[in-house]
Chains A and B, each alone.
Chain A
Amino acid sequence: MDTPPGAIGVETIGMTKRFGAFAALDDVSMKIEAGGFHALLGENGAGKSTLVKCVMGFYAPTAGSVLVDGREAEITNPKGAQARGLGMVYQHFTLVPSLTGAENLVISRADAPAILDWKAERAALSAFMAGMPFRLNLDRPVAELAAGEKQKLEIVKQLYLKARFLILDEPTSVLTPDEAEGVLGLLRAMTDRGALTVLMISHKFREVETFARSLSVLRRGRLVGGGAVGDLSRDDMAAMMIGERVVRPIAARIGVPDAAREILRIEALDATDASGLRRIAIADLRVRAREIVGIAGVSGNGQKELADVLGGQIRAAGGRVAVAGEPYTGRRAQSRARRVRFIPEEPLRNACAPRMSVAENLAFRAFDRRGEDPSGPPTLWLDRGAMTRRAKDLIARFKVKTASSEAPIATLSGGNVQRAVLARELTDPVDLLIVVNPCFGLDFAAVSEIRTRIVAARNAGAAVLLISEDLDEILELSDRIVVMSDGRLVYETAAATAEIGTIGRHMAGHH
């Protein structure tokens, strides 16, 4: 097991992938030189993942071919891609949590024997690791590794499998800024030595500018531009990604937080998730009227548990959550009386019943009120007529694209599901709005529209608690930023004076 002998170049020629008559990828020809560090930019749904999946053999392209090192390569499955030295690191982890790093590496090998000689494997692994840019402890179970270490292990795994062309799908979405810089810097160094070629899917201009040497931009399945990094400004790149579409600017925050009206107050909150492994301890958190408080943090530092407590999904073991001075546990009567709305992340998974219709999903908040009027008196009889009327009204007002109000909500795109959820939750006056990763996985247009609605709710006087793993989103929307790390709130700053480096250090747990 020696280090890869050298980088290979990959070229796609006229790559096209159709699903029925819909072209997810339309005649994309792109060349990535051996030893290059190439960035692939594009909105959600622009065809980036489809392109790399075609290269990796997950999809059979409708037309087009792949050249590996100048020779046509018929890659029909990921194994074939691996055999040719192509490897891919996914956004989500693919390691077995209960196994150690070493075990994960060895079992991933296609030629691993049925009975392992661990002594020999270990010797081979330490020889292999000596040539790696990353230092990793391979004897610890993966479950105990931090996200950055896991991501490094994923990359090491590909190199161990002799990948000389590495595809990274948004590799830094789970890392702190420092970790991201470390990992990408080391990969860049490998490409500079000619040991590796990297193709990186990314949303982050800063990363692309710092680490990539060249870039391509996809829009609606077509290659719309590209070139050397440095020749293109951020505005150029954004313009290529978005095209001619008009993106609504986010409404400005109007007015200042109402210091006298404290809406949400959390004191000495103590809670544990269902598995009992993750504990949060929130000493003190307050959100005032007309204020957006952003909770920043790397995924898995207790944000989900905090959201679950506020959404009534897990019960606090101790402490106090109060809304407008009264205890709050997320019960329906409480959220109605105190006008609390909760918009969870991944709305299709957490806020909708996928197989129920759009109209039914839109009715979740008001179905038990007479005439589907959220402020009406309670009723035992379901009013289907009112349900459909209200659904049609909301679909029109929030521009939800759907075949009909009777279509199952699972048939809508992510942006339209989120629009439907916002339509349901934000149509009446709101005092407290809790949102979790509201723009995760949505395209530009949907993102700006949804952020505008959140700011509009704030301007109208709502207290907003924004829990997000997207630091840019936090910086853009918040009045005040609080950093969450290891289940605690570790740092607080006014957004106006926020400094990214300091926030990043606290996110990483260095404080």
Chain B
Amino acid sequence: MVADTAPSSLTVAPSRSSAFLRIRAWLARRSEAVAIPVGAAALGFLLFGLFLAALGKSPVQLVDIVWRGGFGSPFALGNSLQRAAPLLFAALCVALPARLGLVVIGGEGAIVLGGLAAAAAAQPLSALPALLAVPLMACAAALVGAVWIGSVGWLQAYRGVNATISSLLLSYIAIALANHLIEGPLRDPTSLNKPSTLPVGDAFMLGPMPVIGVHWGLGCGVIACLIAYGLMDRTTLGFAARIAGGNVRAAQIQGLPVGRLIVGFTALGGAFAALAGFFEVVAVQGTANGTLAAGYGYTGILVAFLARQNPIAIVPVAFLLGGIEASSGLIQRRMQLPDATVLVLEGLLFLVVLMSETLYGRFKLFNPHLWAEKRAPVPSARVPA
């Protein structure tokens, strides 16, 4: 009842909302999505600093090392950007389904299978010119990823299987399947202590992009983020997906094809994740092997959540996390810290970001609809009258 009575006091006269107020309201609404994750990330770094101090290490030295190892030199920058490339794709595999209300955390599996599919496709396509063969390899990777993660969506939409759990379990299956194929039928007999598929061949390898000197995966990843943003925020398909994510009952009553939307967007997410594997093969490794499961899929989850599932925000966040990961080796050597240190940092960041999810809509500063009101109603606190 309290919640029912409150909004009746909600009387913002349009006459009072001058242009200044309107702009202020617009700014306020948009800055919430930036201020809260940035604040949360700052808190995460602070907690990590305390953690380091407790170990007797200097947080200041860590900042210095991360700067030098991730961003401070052209070499470090290149290294960070190269690591950011797969994170862009992996994060999209989380962000796209998230708009439909699904938490898909199995991008790692799609990355591994995508890389494997690209490497496997290289052999039958070897007679074709690279300009034709490489896109076909990308298509093969994307198709495998789409089927893999799309089946997560299908299980959720038509069989009620929780997407978080099925995607995680499917990613274990994917990695096991890939290992089996790499060590068995698809193994290059000359790869002795590191089982790999046959090399895709130098002709099919992608060189670096001009000027930046980082492989093409980065540019394509940024483009993929832009495409995903356009799809989500500028098309009616993306809007329909957001309705389904906002309230699946409302979407059904509007007659929207909720099942097909879920399958479509999870499949697209899987295709993007698989492209991360594709670029690792054709631009970095030259062959598919165990290093495909390097954890990009899991870091991608963190990237997507830090970016609030916004495809544009994924770009800077992936760059930041790529930098942190790039400096991990330097952290180990200079500070004598175990290699799990960066995982501790990422875990802390993730926890704080997840906790900050509850803060949206609570700060008066960011929520113009609270300005006119005398008290703050929290939608979740609604009590049935």
Contacts and interface: CB of A to CB of B under 8 A. Distances in A.
B242 A342 contact: no
Interface in A365-387: 365, 367-368, 378-382
Given A332-B257, A353-B245, A367-B240, 16 more contacts: A22-B5, A24-B2, A47-B1, A311-B253, A332-B255, A354-B246, A356-B243, A356-B246, A363-B239, A364-B243, A364-B254, A378-B236, A382-B236, A404-B12, A407-B369, A414-B4
B384 interface: yes
Given A404-B368, A413-B10, A313 B249 contact: yes
10 contacts: A21-B374, A22-B6, A49-B2, A221-B5, A312-B253, A351-B250, A354-B246, A354-B379, A363-B239, A410-B379
B25 A406 contact: yes
Contacts of B246: 353-356
B371 interface: yes
B29 interface: yes
B9 interface: yes
A381 B7 contact: no
A330 B4 CA distance: 31
B375 interface: yes
B95 to A, nearest CB: 17
A403 B245 CA distance: 24
A15 B377 CA distance: 22
B194 interface: no
Interface string A169-202: 0000000000000000000000000000000000
Contact of A313 (B247, B253, B375): B253
B252 A311 contact: yes
B237 A441 contact: no
Contact of B374 (A20, A349, A353, A402): A20
B11 interface: yes
Contact of A24 (B5, B237, B245): B5
Interface in B225-257: 233-240, 242-243, 245-247, 249-250, 252-257
Contact of A342 (B6, B253, B368, B373): B253
Which of B8, B237, B247, B257 has the most chain A CB within a 10 Å cutoff?
B247
A301 B369 CA distance: 40
Which of A47, A349, A353, A355 has the most chain B CB within a 10 Å cutoff?
A353
Query: Which 9 residue pairs are nearest across A and B when measured between Cβ atoms?
Result: A353-B246, A20-B375, A332-B255, A413-B7, A21-B374, A410-B379, A45-B5, A20-B374, A407-B369
A81 interface: no
Interface string B192-235: 00000000000000000000000000000000000000000111
A108 interface: no
B18 to A, nearest CB: 13
A439 B252 CA distance: 22
Which of A330, A355, A412 has the most chain B CB within a 10 Å cutoff?
A355
Contacts, number: 161
Nearest to A384: B234
B63 interface: no
Contacts of A213: none
Which of A44, A332, A381, A404 has the most chain B CB within a 10 Å cutoff?
A404
Nearest to B231: A380
A144 to B, nearest CB: 25
B127 interface: no
B240 A353 contact: no
Nearest to A356: B246
A404 B379 contact: no
Interface of B: 1-2, 4-12, 17, 25-26, 29, 233-240, 242-243, 245-247, 249-250, 252-257, 361, 368-369, 371-377, 379, 384-385
Given A50-B2, A407-B368, A332 B254 contact: yes
Given A21-B375, A408-B379, A416-B7, A49 B255 contact: no
A126 interface: no
Contacts of A406: 25-26, 29, 368
Contact of A411 (B1, B10, B233): B10
Contacts of B4: 44-45, 413-414, 441, 443
Contacts of A221: 5
Given A45-B1, A407-B368, A312 B252 contact: yes
A45 to B, nearest CB: 4
Contacts of A353: 242-243, 245-247, 250
B255 A312 contact: yes
Nearest to B8: A413
A168 B267 CA distance: 52
Nearest to B21: A404
A45 B371 CA distance: 22
A76 interface: no
Which of A45, A351, A381, A402 has the most chain B CB within a 10 Å cutoff?
A45
Contacts of A48: 1
A21 to B, nearest CB: 4
B322 to A, nearest CB: 31
Contacts of B12: 403-404
A260 interface: no
B385 A44 contact: yes
A92 interface: yes
Contacts of B6: 19, 22, 413
A379 B236 contact: yes
B250 A380 contact: no
